[in-house]
Each structure stands twice: as structure tokens, then as C-alpha cells.
């Protein structure tokens, strides 16, 4: 019988193991295996992009960081991570967006995202540079349209910085002078006289906190009109305000504001008010947003020789409302709102409940022209009749419509032409009136 010698070499025993590693190597470098690796990458990057589009930014960040752990120089993953962090308000976004830009300086999406990032950081110069790059790199594309919208907004805002000042000087013709500064409720006595007036309106704002997640500002507004003939109806309004906005997430922000309003009519104190107005802002993405607002106003009216029973209106007002903003294409925004309010003054015949509905269109045209159209219906039902006026309980239906057009003349100056029409239908004749106001203003923003 043939016997196998124990002295034979051990090569045949290790040969199968060698073959196993050899074939594993061939598989790893084969086109099929590479295709599987690329397929896994594409699946991961697609999942991350889908998370960004559905506002699941935390999921996107985790997915993209995992990709970059094995592909640290991947442009697409770097850019998307910068976008996701930017949407979260994370300052780390800047580093990733700039890294993506170094990889491909001609990418319009990267320039756009950097422009948006600096826009929200109130860095006007940086934002403009990147947004203008987008317009030159990708003209007549969705990227350039978006960039132009942000550039237009920057132009409207004027200088973006800690301190801003807006000045409007102009004239108004009122065919039925009613005391109304536009910022506060004033007497409902109707003069039924027409007059011209010169108007100056100043608004200053100081942003003392701007972290991206928390913004806070203090402001002061001054309004003065000077009638040609009806000087007893001249209005001076001083408004001080404090505002803070907290960005809870990219979808949700909480805004709260306090204001103190002090008003004079004909040189005499007329009223002052404390106003607190918290609101919740829900950003649904792509320009859609919903605002839920509550307002509490504590009002103190002061008697004068012209308004000797003015203090009867002292009291408070509670209002709750909702506003929906809907973009219609690249240059048009639609807004619709509803509000319910209840006023509770000292005298019951001034007490009322109201329902207000409003709809408006805003056109931001690329030629530096901004047009606003709005219409409003306000129904007011009073609690008691005023024995000094009528035996009937008062009911008012206020219909108003307005149009204004603003043309930018430069980055600082603009011109505004406006028309307002108000029809107050009341079951009591003294409160039934029509009113039309034509306005011309030169505006400056610093």
C-alpha cells in the first residue's frame, strides 16, 4: 500500500487560505464591488437631501457626518452639511459652506447658501457679495431668482446693522379729516372737512442682540402731521418699543414685543397706552408661514378742551388673530388674516366686540418697484347705546381698501404714492362716513 510521507511540504495546507484572500481582493477591486460602494453613497446622500427638503435637519446632519467620515473631501456632502447646519442656525455651517466653496468656487448653489447664511446674520456686505455672484454665475435660473429676492430684501431694508433709521417726509390730502396716525386708535368724532397736511415720520431701531437664534431690538417712532387749516387736529405720536425673537427651530419662532405709545392732539395730551403682543411664527418652508398673535392693550384717555369726555374710553383691548403668508411665484406674495378683538372701556357704550378679515397682495418687481394691495372688513358690535347720541345700540361695518407703490431711486432713497379709502357703515348717522386719503412720500433708509 502506498503511504504518504509525513515529510511532504505544508504548502497544500495553506493554499486554500491564500486563494480565499486572493479572490476577496479581486472582488474588492472589481467594477461590481465599486458599483455597490457608489450605490451605497448615492443612497446615503439622497436620504440626506430628502431629510433637508422635509426639514429633518438633525437627521441630515447625522447622515452627512457619517458620509464625510469616509469621504472627507466630498463636495456634495460638505455643501449639504453646511446647508443643514445653516437651517438649524448653527454657526458651524459657515466653515462647511466655505470649504465647499473652496472645492468649487463656481457652484451657484454654494454661493447662494452663503449669501442666505450672511443675510440671516445681518452681514449685509458679505450677503450681497455672494448673492451677486449667483446672479452672474447662473443668470435666468431658479438660483438667480432666489438671489435677486434676497438682494431686493436687503435693498428694502437699507443698511443691515445694529442701528437703522428710516425717514419719510411728504404730504397728504384727506377729504374727511379723521384723527388717525396709523399707529393708535383715536377719537371717532368726524370733522367732515377736507384738508392738506405735511407729514414727517421717523423710525429708529437698535439691534442690541443678534445671535442667529435670539434677536432683540429697541425702537422709537415719531409721527407728526401739520394741517393747513385744521390745526386742532394735528397729531403727534411717540412710540417706544422693545422686541425679542427666539428661534426655537428652523420651523418655529417666538416673538414678543412691548410698546409704550404717547399721543397728543392739537398740542394737548390725548392718550397713552401700554401694549404687549406675543406671537408664534411657523415657517412651513418655501416662503409659506403662519403667524398666531395675541395682543393686550391698556389704554388711558385724557380729557381736554376739545375732547371733554375722552376719559370715558379708558380701558383695555384684547385681540387674537392668525395670518397666513402664501408665495405666488417669484415676485408675488399673498397674505390673508382674521382677528377677533374685545374692547372693555370705562363706559359700557364704548365697549364692543369685533371681527376683522384682511387679504392683500404684495408685488416685488425686479425693476425696484414694490406694490401693495389690501382690503379689509371689520365688523364692530357695541354693547350698549349711548344715551347722548341715540336710543339704538351702535353697529358698524368698516370697509377699507388701499394701494401703495414704492419705487427705489437708490439704495437710500425711494418714493411712495398711496391711496386709502374707508367706508364706515353705521346704524347711527353721526358715525356713518366715507374717507379718502392720498399720500406722497420721499423715504430715506440709513
Phi, psi of 317 (to 5 degrees): -130, 135
Question: How sure is the predictor about 142, in pLDDT bands with cuts at 50, 70 and 90?
Answer: confident
Residue 373 in this model has a pLDDT that exceeds 50: yes
pLDDT tens digit string along 82-110?
999 988 877 788 889 989 988 888 899 99
Residue 354 in this model has a pLDDT that exceeds 50: yes
Average pLDDT on 415-441 reads 94
Residue 38 in this model has a pLDDT that exceeds 80: no
pLDDT tens digit string along 187-203?
555 566 899 999 999 99
Beta strand 163-174 pairing with 433-445: antiparallel
Question: How sure is the predictor about 41, in pLDDT bands with cuts at 50, 70 and 90?
Answer: confident
Higher pLDDT among residues 181 and 427, named by residue: 427
Distance CA 75, CA 133 (A): 19
Q: For position 314, what pLDDT does the model report?
A: 96
Question: How sure is the predictor about 31, in pLDDT bands with cuts at 50, 70 and 90?
Answer: very low
Q: For position 119, what pLDDT does the model report?
A: 84
Return the closest-CA partner of residue 202 out of 228, 238, 233.
238
3-state secondary structure the chain: CCCCCCCCCCHHHHHHHHHHHHHHHHHHHCHHHHHHHHHHHHHHHHHHHHHHHCCCHHHHHHHHHHHHHHCCCCHHHHHHHHHHHHHCCCCCHHHHHHHHHHHCCCCHHHHHHHHHHHHHCCCHHHHHHHHHHHHHHCCCCHHHHHHHHHHHHHHHHCCCCCEEEEEEEEEEEECCCCCCCCCCCCCCCCCCCCEEEEEEEEEEEEEEEECCCEEEEEEEEEEEEEECCCHHHCEEEEEEEEEEEEECCCCEEEEEEEEEEEEEECCEEEEEEEEECCEEEEEEECCEEEEEEEEEEEEEECCCCCCCCHHHHCEEEEEEEEEEEEEECCCEEEEEEEEEEEEEECCHHHCEEEEEEEEEEEEEECCCEEEEEEEEEEEEEECCCCCCCCCCCCEEEEEEEEEEEEEECCCCEEEEEEEEEEEEEECCHHHCEEEEEEEEEEEEEC
Question: How sure is the predictor about 350, in pLDDT bands with cuts at 50, 70 and 90?
Answer: very high
Residue 140: other Cβ atoms inside 10 A: 8
Rg of the chain on CA atoms, in Å: 32
Cell of 320: 387674537
Q: Are 402 and 418 in contact (CB under 8 A)?
A: yes
Burial group, residue 313, by CB count within 10 angstroms (0-12, 13-18, 19+): buried
Residue 185 in this model has a pLDDT that exceeds 90: no
Q: Are 369 and 350 in contact (CB under 8 A)?
A: no
Average confidence score pLDDT of the chain? 85
Distance CA 202, CA 183 (A): 13
Instruction: Out of 73-87, 205-219, 304-318, 342-356, pick the least confident.
Output: 205-219
Residues near 246 by beta carbon (within 8 Å), at least 6 away in sequence: 213, 214, 253, 254, 255
Q: How far is CA 74 from CA 37, 69, 80, 88, 156, in A?
A: 14, 10, 10, 21, 38
Q: For position 10, what pLDDT does the model report?
A: 46
Residue 35 in this model has a pLDDT that exceeds 70: no
Q: How far is CA 3 from CA 6, 13, 305, in A?
A: 9, 18, 134
Assign residue 41 a region (left: φ > 0; alpha: ψ between -120 and 50; beta: otherwise): alpha
Residues near 41 by beta carbon (within 8 Å), at least 6 away in sequence: 67, 71
Q: For position 423, what pLDDT does the model report?
A: 94
Return the closest-CA partner of residue 343 out of 313, 377, 387, 312.
313
Placement of cell 467594477 in the chain? 31
Cell of 384: 350698549
Assign residue 214 a region (left: φ > 0; alpha: ψ between -120 and 50; beta: otherwise): beta
pLDDT tens digit string along 11-27?
445 555 555 555 554 44
Return the closest-CA partner of residue 319 out of 270, 276, 273.
276
Q: For position 54, what pLDDT does the model report?
A: 86
pLDDT tens digit string along 290-320?
999 999 999 999 998 888 888 999 999 999 9
Higher pLDDT among residues 160 and 278, named by residue: 278
Q: For position 219, what pLDDT does the model report?
A: 95
The CA-based angle 441-443-446, given to 5 degrees, is: 165
Q: For position 3, what pLDDT does the model report?
A: 41
pLDDT tens digit string along 254-293?
999 999 999 999 899 999 999 999 999 998 866 688 999 9
Higher pLDDT among residues 25 and 240, named by residue: 240
Distance CA 215, CA 205 (A): 12
Amino acid at each position: 500500500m502506498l503511504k504518504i510521507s509525513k515529510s511532504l511540504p505544508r504548502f497544500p495546507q495553506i493554499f486554500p487560505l491564500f486563494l480565499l484572500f486572493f479572490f476577496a481582493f479581486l472582488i474588492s477591486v472589481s467594477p461590481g464591488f465599486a458599483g455597490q460602494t457608489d450605490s451605497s453613497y448615492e443612497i446615503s446622500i439622497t436620504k440626506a437631501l430628502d431629510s433637508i427638503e422635509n426639514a429633518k435637519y438633525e437627521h441630515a446632519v447625522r447622515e452627512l457626518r457619517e458620509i464625510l467620515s469616509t469621504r472627507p473631501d466630498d463636495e456634495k456632502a460638505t455643501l449639504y452639511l453646511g446647508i443643514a447646519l445653516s437651517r438649524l442656525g448653527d454657526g458651524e455651517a459657515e466653515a462647511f459652506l466655505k470649504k465647499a466653496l473652496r472645492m468649487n468656487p463656481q457652484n451657484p448653489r454654494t454661493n447662494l447658501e452663503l449669501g442666505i447664511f450672511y443675510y440671516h446674520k445681518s452681514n449685509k456686505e458679505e450677503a450681497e457679495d455672494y448673492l451677486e455672484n449667483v446672479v452672474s454665475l447662473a443668470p435666468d435660473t431658479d438660483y438667480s431668482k432666489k438671489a435677486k429676492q434676497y438682494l431686493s430684501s436687503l435693498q428694502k431694508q437699507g443698511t443691515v446693522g445694529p442701528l437703522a433709521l428710516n425717514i419719510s417726509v411728504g404730504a397728504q390730502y384727506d377729504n374727511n379729516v379723521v384723527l388717525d396716525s396709523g399707529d393708535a386708535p383715536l377719537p371717532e368724532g368726524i370733522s367732515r372737512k377736507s384738508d392738506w397736511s405735511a407729514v414727517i415720520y421717523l423710525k429708529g431701531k437698535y439691534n442690541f442682540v443678534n445671535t442667529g437664534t435670539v434677536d432683540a431690538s429697541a425702537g422709537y417712532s415719531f409721527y407728526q402731521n401739520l394741517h393747513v387749516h385744521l390745526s386742532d387736529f394735528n397729531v403727534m405720536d411717540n412710540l417706544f418699543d422693545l422686541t425679542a425673537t427666539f428661534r426655537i427651530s428652523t420651523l418655529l419662532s417666538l416673538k414678543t414685543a412691548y410698546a409704550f405709545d404717547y399721543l397728543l392732539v392739537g398740542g394737548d395730551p390725548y392718550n397713552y397706552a401700554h401694549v404687549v403682543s406675543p406671537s408664534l411664527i411657523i415657517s412651513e418652508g418655501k416662503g409659506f408661514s403662519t403667524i398666531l398673535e395675541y395682543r393686550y392693550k391698556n389704554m388711558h384717555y385724557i380729557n381736554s378742551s376739545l375732547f371733554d369726555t375722552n376719559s370715558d374710553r379708558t380701558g383695555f383691548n384684547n385681540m387674537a388673530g392668525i395670518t397666513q403668508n402664501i408665495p405666488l411665484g417669484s415676485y408675488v406674495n399673498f397674505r390673508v388674516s382674521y382677528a377677533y378683538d374685545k374692547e372693555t372701556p370705562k363706559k359700557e357704550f364704548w365697549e364692543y366686540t369685533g371681527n376683522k378679515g384682511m387679504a392683500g397682495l404684495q408685488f416685488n418687481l425686479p425693476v425696484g418697484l414694490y406694490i401693495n394691495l389690501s382690503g379689509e372688513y371689520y365688523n364692530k358690535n357695541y354693547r350698549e347705546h349711548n344715551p347722548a347720541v341715540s336710543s339704538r345700540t351702535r353697529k358698524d361695518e368698516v370697509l377699507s381698501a388701499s394701494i401703495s407703490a414704492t419705487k427705489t431711486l437708490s439704495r437710500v432713497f425711494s418714493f411712495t404714492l398711496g391711496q386709502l379709502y374707508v367706508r364706515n357703515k353705521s346704524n347711527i348717522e353721526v358715525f356713518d362716513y366715507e374717507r379718502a386719503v392720498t399720500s406722497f412720500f420721499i423715504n430715506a433708509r440709513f
